[in-house]
Amino acid sequence: MQLNINNEKITYNGEDIVNILKEISFILCSLHDIGSCYANCIDEKRREYEKETTDFIDNSHICERLAHIRSKLTEGFDLTLGDDDMDDLERACQHINYWKKLGDSSNEFWV
């Protein structure tokens, strides 16, 4: 994908990046710790594990945290529309296979 020349190099405020990394660390380490807590008894307590994970996501406002991270990272981009009426970020995300139905997941990594 060819990026808008203004998006080839983007600079961020260091404090913003530190806060983003803190948020990601909180989410990742917490989810890891939840999984570790139930690792030895996952079969017997599967519902408890799922409830704890869902409660953590809901009560810690994980979706809002991730939306804020996305917003902060997007601030540095030039969102000028191209000939296809999309900006670079829309174009990059257009083929992501988002969750649509029960059982959907993805093993695709982009980083």
Average pLDDT, the chain: 93
Tell me which amino acid residue 75 is.
Answer: E
pTM score, whole prediction: 0.86
Residues 89, 79 contacting (CB under 8 angstroms): yes
Residue 74 neighbours by CB distance under 10 Å: 11
Q: Which among 80, 30, 79, 28 is positioned nearest to 56, based on CA atoms?
A: 30
Q: Which among 102, 79, 101 is positioned nearest to 91, based on CA atoms?
A: 79
Q: Which helix (H) or strand (E) covers residue 37, if one does?
A: helix 14-38
What percent of the chain has pLDDT above 70? 99
pLDDT of residue 61: 98
Residues 15, 100 contacting (CB under 8 angstroms): no
Average pLDDT on 81-107 reads 94
Per residue in 24-49, pLDDT tens?
999 999 999 999 988 877 677 888 99
pLDDT of residue 58: 98
Q: Is the pLDDT of residue 3 over 80?
A: yes
SS (H, E, C) 46-94: HHHHHHHHHHHHHHCCHHHHHHHHHHHHHCCCCCCCCCCCCCHHHHHHC
